[in-house]
Structure 1
Amino acid sequence: MTYATADDMKTRFNDQDLILLTERENSTPGEVDMMVLTQSLVDASAEINAYLSGRYTLPLSTVPTALVRVCCDIARYFLSSDNAPEHIHQRYTDALKFLKLVNEGKVALGIDSQGDKATTNDTAHIESAGSVFARDKSTGFI
């Protein structure tokens, strides 16, 4: 199971970038090589699992949106190999920092330890003492 799909990558990144990043000797010119793209997503998901395995039961039944973004950033870095520009390297570094914080329990993904969407009891409850400007409480004009 991967945390992101090829469509997630296409949504986040320019098609031309993905074509250049996935181009190999046997690739069709001008098209994204889906096998290369899928492999990078599998590799990125494996790296994410290495961080999550101590805190969550894998595979996660619900994939948090934050992990989709992180998976795409890591996969893009892997596709760039040794030629990653500074901004791609920075996004990869930021993704790893995020995963370390999740591993340490300092950042929550919004799921419980079993990987299901977490339920909370912290809903807002508002009480009022009643109307301040009511006719029966008025002693003046009203």
Structure 2
Amino acid sequence: MYISRSDLEKAISRAELVQLTQDDISNYNATEPDWTIVDMAIAEACELADGYLMGRYTVPLEPVPSLIGTICRTLARHWLHSRRINTAEFPKPLQAAYDNAIKLLEQIRDGKVHIGVKSLEAEKAATERWQSERGAYHVRAGVKHDWSDYP
């Protein structure tokens, strides 16, 4: 997972998390989010990010670039809101943030934005370079000495 519950709590107020996750109508005065639903939102966001990135990078990414965490928080928030709001009625800033996150994932996938992680192509090239040299010995030596006058 690229984000945690606490990461999501930093991006979304606790009151908003409670409103977006509590489905039990009888629990009207709830003060705690339904963590199962929060975990589902996190999993959905991280899987969506992996779906875009897996063609270019080995997923899950380790270490997690901060940009991916930011994108996943946006995706999780959008997923939580989509449980409550008809997508035609989405607040414009929320929809714009989601659209930008998807666009950014596409740019990362296409190699237009770099996240500081070695791509599969770079890993493959390094592996092929190593495999092509298999069996060959490479020796380093110092300066050649002339020992012809040595008794």
TM-score past 0.5 threshold: yes
Tell me the secondary structure at the aligned position of residue 116 of structure 2: coil
Matches within 5 A, 1:80-91: 80-81=81-82, 83=85, 84-91=90-97
Counterpart for residue 52 of structure 1: 53
Alpha-carbon offset, residue 113 of structure 1: 2.0
Counterpart for residue 137 of structure 2: none
The whole-number CA distance in structure 2 between the counterparts of 1:27 and 1:58 is: 41
Select the residue among 93, 107, 118 that pairs with 2:99. Answer: 93
Given that 1:27 and 1:33 are in contact with CA atoms closer than 8 Å, whether structure 2 keeps it comes out as no
What TM-score results when the alignment is normalised by the length of structure 1? 0.74
In structure 2, the CA distance between the partners of 1:25 and 1:56, relative to structure 1 (3 Å rule), is same
Alpha-carbon offset, residue 27 of structure 1: 8.7
The whole-number CA distance in structure 2 between the counterparts of 1:58 and 1:75 is: 18
Q: Which has the larger radius of gyration?
A: 2
Alpha-carbon offset, residue 33 of structure 1: 1.0
How many residues are treated as equivalent by the alignment? 113
In structure 2, the CA distance between the partners of 1:50 and 1:57, relative to structure 1 (3 Å rule), is same
Matches within 5 A, 1:59-78: 59-78=60-79
Tell me the secondary structure at the aligned position of residue 39 of structure 2: helix
Q: Partner amino acid for 1:113?
A: S
Counterpart for residue 117 of structure 2: 111
The whole-number CA distance in structure 1 between the counterparts of 2:25 and 2:52 is: 34
The whole-number CA distance in structure 2 between the counterparts of 1:26 and 1:33 is: 13
What TM-score results when the alignment is normalised by the length of structure 2? 0.70
Given that 1:19 and 1:31 are in contact with CA atoms closer than 8 Å, whether structure 2 keeps it comes out as yes
Q: Partner amino acid for 1:4?
A: I
Alpha-carbon offset, residue 40 of structure 1: 0.5
Per mean C-alpha deviation after superposition, the further-off stretch among 36-45 and 77-86 is 77-86
Query: Unpaired segments of 5 or more residues in structure 1?
Result: 115-142
The whole-number CA distance in structure 1 between the counterparts of 2:51 and 2:25 is: 32
Structure 1 runs (4+) deviating above 6 angstroms are none
